[in-house]
């Protein structure tokens, strides 16, 4: 099939897909090729993801409307034109009949014409054409995708929209682990692993590796995945591929925010389970980072990744802590608090700095009241390193506070970047301890408080853990330090 470009009345490039004995003729906009590539990549996409994707790329190319309902209706009508022209094929999955909304059980897939169009316009290589032709033959008889496959396709499409629409970024690649050259060409039989999905951002030397978790894999399986990633990313093979590459391995449970239906939960217990399957971060390697993140926190995580702040450098963390301490002092001064920053050794002379040491130690004293001490840990949402530091610090502070050899009472303050990170993180269940109080807060909330003009009715942005389970189900307290 030979397609020649021409300009539409709107100044966009279009191609004429010819009529056949069973297919209608259609005009295909060049930006719509992106949508065809998405379907070929994942084989099947639900109508809901396709409509979401279509609305965004049509808006970016001048087909915008202020009426959201109308925009989605126009996108749905356009999909019908694709079907009539034989460029796409739709299937109704009987396995998903329980879902009330039709667009969640209609799956679109590619056709021979789809491959011919993309190949003729250099959107597929010879190798890719051969590969997807085999895929097409294997899927000629429709079989509804598994929930796991649906989740992978949904995640990939939504990530693509986020990077295109909200971040305006073009230099990235999203693909399955089986097609990415780094994993496809890795030949260690014992250590070879194929992730569910990859997001590579070459100019940032970042690789986000997604393991979509359905909640059924046992501890040994999860731990084995870790060991294979650890072995691979410590190999010379990866160093030769990109010596500066930073890999983020992200375990992402399928929860109610990921794929919505009435039977799904928040999966917070699954997140804690996954975090506890991973060995100590001291053994990971400098180019490997491990996360377990709620789907609702993925957008913020990717935004921070692109901004180079999903994990701060030592210098960046020091600057952030200094700014937070300044905002803390500014906000508490009108409330008659004195903030004193200590070193760990000033409070505990026998202590030696380790990777588990707190990021700050503070003493707070309000006029007429007893002074209080806090270990402050800066927490990255979903970060297993943060989880392990939190557990270690908790055990350490319990031992210090319960010891009869000193009169110290040190509490724990968990500092997040934003309130969203604080709310969506999930930490391990702990045994209740009367000797230790745990609070969470965020740097952004204190920044806003320090900038507030009226502090008369201020509620300090401190959230105390649920006293029943200490499971990080945080309640807001009108708490005075």
441 with 328, same domain: the answer is: yes
CB 159 within 8 A of CB 268: no
123 with 13, same domain: the answer is: yes
Looking at 306, 326, 361, the residue that finishes a domain is: 306
301 with 319, same domain: the answer is: no
Longest CA–CA separation in the chain, Å: 90
41 with 128, same domain: the answer is: yes
In the 8-state DSSP scheme, what is residue 146? P
71 with 167, same domain: the answer is: no
120 in any annotated domain = yes
275 with 231, same domain: the answer is: yes
What are the start-end ranges of the H helices in 333-478? Answer: 344-347, 384-402, 419-424, 443-451
84 in any annotated domain = yes
Beta-strand runs (E) in 196-314:
197-201, 206-213, 246-253, 288-292
410 in any annotated domain = yes
Which of 416, 438, 435, 413 lies closest to 363, judged by CA? 413
Q: What is the pTM of this model?
A: 0.90
451 to each of 327, 364, 378, 416, 456, how far by Cα in Å? 8, 20, 22, 18, 14
- What is the per-residue pLDDT for 136? 95
- What is the per-residue pLDDT for 189? 67
- What is the per-residue pLDDT for 121? 95
131 with 183, same domain: the answer is: no
| 10-residue stretch averages of pLDDT, the chain, 481 residues long | 85 91 93 94 93 88 82 91 95 68 78 96 94 94 91 94 81 92 84 92 95 92 94 93 96 88 70 93 94 94 91 94 95 89 93 94 91 96 95 93 85 94 85 81 92 74 62 47 51
- What is the per-residue pLDDT for 85? 96
237 in any annotated domain = yes
Tell me which residue range forms the domain holding 347.
Answer: 314-476
The Cα 315–Cα 321 span in angstroms is: 10
CB-CB neighbours of 270 under 10 Å:
20
246 in any annotated domain = yes
- What is the per-residue pLDDT for 469? 37
130 with 183, same domain: the answer is: no
Looking at 115, 145, 175, the residue that finishes a domain is: 145
155 in any annotated domain = no
292 with 319, same domain: the answer is: no
CATH number reported for the structural domain that contains residue 88 in this entry: 1.10.10
299 to each of 31, 67, 436, how far by Cα in Å? 24, 25, 34
137 with 177, same domain: the answer is: no
415 with 466, same domain: the answer is: yes
432 in any annotated domain = yes
Looking at 275, 290, 306, the residue that finishes a domain is: 306
Q: How many domains does the chain have?
A: 3
192 with 284, same domain: the answer is: yes
**Sequence-separated (6 or more) residues with CB below 8 Å from residue 100:** none
461 in any annotated domain = yes
Q: What DSSP element (H or E) covers 76?
A: helix 68-84
In the 8-state DSSP scheme, what is residue 383? B
């Amino acid at each position: 099939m030979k397609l020649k470009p021409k300009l539409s009345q709107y100044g966009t490039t279009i191609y004429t897909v010819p009529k056949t004995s069973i297919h209608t003729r259609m005009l295909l906009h060049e930006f719509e090729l992106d949508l065809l590539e998405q379907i070929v990549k994942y084989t099947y996409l639900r109508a809901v993801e396709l409509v979401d994707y279509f609305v965004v790329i049509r808006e970016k190319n001048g087909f915008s409307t202020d009426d959201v309902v109308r925009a989605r209706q126009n996108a749905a009508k356009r999909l019908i034109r694709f079907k009539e022209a034989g460029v796409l094929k739709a299937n109704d999955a009987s396995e998903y009949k329980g879902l009330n909304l039709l667009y969640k059980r209609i799956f679109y897939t590619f056709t021979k014409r789809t491959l011919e169009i993309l190949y003729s316009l250099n959107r597929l290589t010879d190798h890719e054409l051969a590969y997807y032709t085999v895929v097409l033959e294997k899927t000629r008889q429709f079989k509804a995708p598994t929930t796991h496959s649906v989740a992978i396709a949904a995640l990939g499409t939504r990530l693509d929209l986020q990077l295109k629409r909200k971040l305006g970024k073009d230099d990235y690649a999203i693909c399955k682990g089986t097609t990415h050259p780094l994993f496809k060409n890795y030949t260690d039989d014992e250590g070879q692993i194929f992730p569910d999905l990859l997001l590579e951002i070459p100019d940032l030397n970042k690789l986000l590796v997604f393991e979509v978790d359905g909640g059924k894999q046992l501890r040994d399986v999860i731990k084995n995945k870790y060991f294979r990633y650890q072995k691979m990313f410590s190999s010379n093979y990866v160093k030769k591929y990109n010596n500066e590459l930073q890999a983020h391995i992200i375990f992402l449970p399928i929860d109610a925010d990921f794929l919505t239906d009435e039977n799904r939960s928040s999966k917070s217990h699954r997140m804690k389970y996954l975090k506890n399957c991973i060995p100590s971060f001291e053994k990971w390697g400098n180019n490997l980072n491990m996360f377990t993140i709620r789907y609702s926190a993925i957008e913020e995580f990717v935004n921070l990744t692109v901004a180079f702040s999903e994990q701060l450098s030592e210098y960046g963390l020091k600057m952030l802590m200094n700014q937070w301490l300044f905002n803390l002092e500014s906000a508490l001064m009108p409330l008659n608090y004195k903030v004193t920053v200590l070193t760990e050794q000033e409070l505990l002379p026998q202590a030696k700095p380790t990777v588990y040491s707190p990021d700050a130690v503070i003493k707070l004293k309000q006029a007429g009241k007893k002074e209080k001490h806090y270990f402050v840990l800066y927490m990255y949402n979903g970060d297993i390193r943060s989880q392990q530091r939190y557990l270690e610090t908790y055990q350490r502070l319990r031992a210090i506070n319960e010891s009869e050899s000193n009169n110290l009472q040190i509490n724990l303050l968990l500092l997040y970047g934003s309130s969203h990170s604080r709310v969506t993180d999930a930490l391990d269940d702990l045994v209740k301890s009367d000797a230790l109080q745990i609070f969470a807060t965020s740097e952004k909330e204190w920044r806003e408080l320090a900038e507030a003009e009226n502090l008369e009715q201020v509620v300090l942005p401190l959230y105390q853990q649920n006293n029943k389970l200490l499971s990080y189900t945080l309640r807001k307290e009108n708490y005075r330090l």
